[in-house]
């Protein structure tokens, strides 16, 4: 018996499986978003606005964007230095009532991505390592993903969302999804305070809130993670109005970074909605149906007079004005026209 026990103790631990992310071209899209901002009584002397410049990502390639007016390309002031487009228009004769229009057209190839185990003897593809600034940011506590807030720390402890020694990060991600699925119902409110420290105390939130919870839990446990902010690559439903939840087709999903594997897609909302499958099945799945407008949240936009914080640039520009009177600016109407060409992948 003693000899048998010795053999058990000496046996090597089972090796963790090795993975890769398979990516295939899923569909080509050509999307045009148009925006209008109007005032009634306020006399604008200068309009200033920012839009995002959709980036090249593991989820989308061959990205080409044009703006009208052209504007000026800039880097926002966070560590990520995300590309944004700045627009400025002076009004020579300010008068009550006015408008500002801006639009962009993006063409891109969206990717279908899936996490798969490597076959015996298969070498993993080379993936870029995170830069020091990227790793610092994707582990940091930010305005919305505020995982260092006491309320969020208490939530992690209460839900036992601490990485266990020897636990694979993908399995931990599934445990976080289990909590989100069990404790929250989906509820969309565009004005909701979605901060992780606030969402963790609620019983309902939307895709943004679920992603803030998920990304916050991973970052708090030393796993780099980020939010992907975009819009579904599909046209508006016929007859829909701005009052309808899906009118602008907004969506937010997440990614986690694994050394040697790269960015792994995770959609907490899809895991939440499809309860007939285990949450582990949603770690590493991207159907290629979202045009990502920018990485993560909490942009630092460099206006001429100040740097202003912006949660995201998703369904409208972030704008500022100079002028006289009581400001009564109103966003809308907006346009979302998209052509989708399937490329034969499932």
pLDDT (tens digit per residue) in 62-77: 999 999 999 999 999 9
Residue 194 lies in a domain: yes
Residue 191 buriedness (CB in 10 A; 0-12 / 13-18 / 19+): exposed
Residue 55 buriedness (CB in 10 A; 0-12 / 13-18 / 19+): middle
Identify the bridge partners of residue 32 per DSSP, sorted by sequence position: 105, 337
Identify the bridge partners of residue 310 per DSSP, sorted by sequence position: 299
What pLDDT does residue 246 have? 78
Residue 160 lies in a domain: yes
What pLDDT does residue 286 have? 98
The chain-wide mean pLDDT, for the chain, equals 93
Residue 317 lies in a domain: yes
pLDDT band at 325 (very low <50, low <70, confident <90, very high): very high
Q: Give per-residue pLDDT as tens, 255-304.
A: 999 999 999 999 999 999 999 999 999 999 999 999 999 999 999 999 99
Residue 13 lies in a domain: no
Judging by DSSP bridges, how do beta strands 96-117 and 19-52 pair with one another? antiparallel
Query: Residue 106 pLDDT more than 70?
Result: yes
Least confident of 39-48, 147-156, 327-336: 327-336
CA nearest neighbour of 207 among 294, 298, 268:
268
Residue 222 lies in a domain: yes
Higher pLDDT residue, 117 or 191?
117
How large is the average pLDDT for residues 75-82?
97
State the Cα–Cα distance between residues 88 and 190, nearest whole angstrom.
27
Q: For residue 63, give its domain range.
A: 19-342
Whether the CB-CB separation of 86 and 74 falls below 8 Å is answered with yes
Residue 6 lies in a domain: no
How large is the average pLDDT for residues 205-215?
97
pLDDT band at 54 (very low <50, low <70, confident <90, very high): very high
State the Cα–Cα distance between residues 333 and 330, nearest whole angstrom.
9
What pLDDT does residue 239 have? 85
Residue 1 lies in a domain: no
Q: How large is the C-alpha radius of gyration of the chain?
A: 22
State the Cα–Cα distance between residues 217 and 99, nearest whole angstrom.
42
The CATH number of residue 173's host domain is 3.10.620.30
Residue 171 lies in a domain: yes
What pLDDT does residue 15 have? 55
pLDDT > 70 in the chain, percent: 95
Task: Indicate the number of domains in the chain.
Answer: 1
């Amino acid at each position: 018996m003693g000899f048998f026990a010795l053999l058990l103790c000496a046996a090597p631990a089972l090796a963790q499986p090795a993975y890769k992310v398979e990516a295939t071209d899923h569909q080509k899209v050509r999307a045009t978003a148009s925006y209008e901002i109007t005032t009634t009584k306020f006399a604008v002397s200068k309009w200033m606005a920012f839009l995002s410049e959709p980036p090249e990502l593991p989820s989308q390639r061959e990205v080409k964007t044009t703006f009208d007016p052209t504007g000026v390309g800039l880097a926002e002031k966070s560590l990520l230095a995300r590309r944004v487009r700045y627009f400025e228009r002076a009004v020579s004769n300010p008068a009550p009532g006015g408008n500002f229009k801006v639009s962009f057209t993006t063409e891109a190839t969206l990717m279908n991505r899936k996490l798969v185990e490597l076959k015996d003897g298969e070498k993993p593809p080379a993936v870029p390592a995170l830069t020091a600034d990227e790793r610092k940011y994707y582990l940091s506590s930010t305005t919305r993903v505020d995982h260092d807030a006491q309320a969020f720390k208490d939530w992690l402890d209460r839900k036992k969302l601490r990485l266990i020694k020897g636990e694979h990060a993908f399995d931990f991600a599934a445990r976080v999804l289990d909590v989100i699925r069990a404790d929250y119902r989906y509820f969309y409110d565009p004005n909701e305070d979605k901060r992780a420290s606030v969402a963790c105390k609620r019983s309902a939130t939307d895709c943004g809130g679920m992603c803030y919870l998920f990304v916050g839990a991973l970052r708090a446990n030393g796993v780099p993670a980020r939010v992907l902010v975009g819009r579904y690559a599909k046209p508006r439903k016929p007859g829909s109005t701005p009052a309808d939840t899906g009118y602008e087709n907004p969506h937010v999903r997440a990614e986690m970074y694994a050394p040697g594997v790269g960015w792994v897609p995770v959609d907490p909302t899809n895991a939440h909605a499809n309860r007939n499958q285990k949450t582990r099945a949603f770690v590493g799945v991207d159907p290629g149906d979202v045009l990502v407008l920018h990485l993560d949240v909490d942009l630092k936009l460099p206006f001429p007079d100040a740097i202003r914080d912006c949660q995201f640039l998703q369904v409208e520009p972030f704008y500022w004005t100079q002028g006289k009177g009581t400001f009564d600016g109103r966003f809308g109407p907006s346009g979302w026209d998209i052509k989708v060409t399937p490329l034969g992948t499932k």
